[in-house]
Amino acid sequence: MQIKFHGNFKNTILVSICLLSGLLVSCKDDVSLNSPNGLVVILKADDMGDVGGNWNRFIQILVDDSICAGIGVISKNVHESSIPEIQKIANIKQKNGYPVVEFWNHGYDHIDLKPNSEITEFYNTDYNYQRTHFRLAQHFFSDTLHITSHSFGAPHNRTKLITEGIIESFPEINVWQHYGKIEQYTHTGWKDPKLRVIQETDKRIILSIDYLSLKSFNVESFEKNYINDNKKPYIIIQIHPATWNEEIFVKFENLIQFYKQSEHHATFMTPYQYYESMHKKLIAN
């Protein structure tokens, strides 16, 4: 399957690869946990298998609007024909050198083993099962995509205590995105910048999701929450672009424009970019 990018997206990819220089995006990397320069917005886009269709359009929006996002890849669902397209997309750079799209580990197969998510890939499964799946996904990134996955988000945001130790055995994973309201255990080896001060020696952070599985984007709701959100060091908006229709795409673009308004001073970052931005600020200080 050859993906045909609309507009100038294909040319953007080729220019990015040939020049190996930053393009297009103004996502800043000067945020500090203790004194953030405006709101940091992290888009957590879940469930990529093959590239094309809605994913193509979503990535084009990132490029056109000079923003960035993290996309969770389900490794087993990626068709061989999509591999070169994902590699090309990973080479589109922001002006600061970070990728426009950070591809991250969203599980190996994302399969529900029991109805109603009672047993999922990393929830109510045993240690060996979880470690095998995590390893398969990480190896798919490194051996097939030739990309390092520095971030993780569990299918359905469901994990157990054993998952924490498994993730920690993969030192390249620095960021864990999660939805704490459905987890019933305490993360001991991971710090959330919303709750604890991050030190230079902290090599693992956990980022909590603020907006979960939106099926539509009511800008008025985000406006209402903005004052409270702006007190946080970051917010995560979880989305599923593969399921969107035309109406949702339009509302999403309206939401992006809301955050890009000069009075809001919002900065879009990918998960690993946010992790690195904090550490660079700590080292500089």
Residue 277's CATH number: 3.20.20.370
CA within 13 Å, CB half, 125: 24
Highest mean pLDDT among 7-11, 102-106, 117-121, 261-265 belongs to 102-106
Q: Give the confidence band of 284 by pLDDT, cuts at 50, 70, 90.
A: low
The amino acid at residue 159 is T
- Please check whether residue 267 is in contact with residue 40, taking contact to mean a CB–CB distance below 8 angstroms: yes
Note down the domain range covering 234: 9-284
Residue 13 reports pLDDT greater than 60: no
Residue 151 reports pLDDT greater than 50: yes
Greater model confidence, 115 or 147: 147
What average pLDDT score do residues 244-261 get?
93
Element (H, E) at 101: strand 101-105
- What is the per-residue pLDDT for 191? 92
149-186 burial, b for 16+ CB within 10 Å, e for fewer?
bbbbbbbbbbbbebbbebbeebeebbbbbbbbeebeee
Return the SS3 of 35. coil
pLDDT digits (tens, 9 = 90+) for 116-150: 778 999 999 999 999 999 999 999 999 999 999 99
Greater model confidence, 214 or 218: 218
Q: Give the confidence band of 32 by pLDDT, cuts at 50, 70, 90.
A: very low
Highest mean pLDDT among 101-105, 108-112, 276-280 belongs to 101-105
Q: How far apart are CA 89 and CA 10, in angstroms?
A: 9
Q: Give the confidence band of 213 by pLDDT, cuts at 50, 70, 90.
A: low
- What is the per-residue pLDDT for 127? 97
Residue 170 reports pLDDT greater than 90: yes
Domain-embedded: residue 171: yes
Domain-embedded: residue 32: yes
Q: Give the confidence band of 184 by pLDDT, cuts at 50, 70, 90.
A: low
The amino acid at residue 275 is Y
Domain-embedded: residue 253: yes
What average pLDDT score do residues 75-79 get?
97
Domain-embedded: residue 39: yes
pLDDT digits (tens, 9 = 90+) for 224-252: 999 999 999 999 999 999 999 999 999 99
- Please check whether residue 284 is in contact with residue 202, taking contact to mean a CB–CB distance below 8 angstroms: no
Domain-embedded: residue 1: no
Domains contained in the chain, number: 1
Domain-embedded: residue 3: no
Burial class of residue 234, CB neighbours in 10 A (0-12, 13-18, 19+)? buried
Q: What percentage of the chain exceeds 90 in pLDDT?
A: 67
Question: Which residue, 279, 284, 238, is CA-closest to 33?
Answer: 279
Domain-embedded: residue 4: no
Q: Give the confidence band of 197 by pLDDT, cuts at 50, 70, 90.
A: confident
- What is the per-residue pLDDT for 138? 98
Give the chain's mean pLDDT.
85
Domain-embedded: residue 79: yes
Q: Give the confidence band of 10 by pLDDT, cuts at 50, 70, 90.
A: very low
What average pLDDT score do residues 48-66 get?
94
- What is the per-residue pLDDT for 231? 92
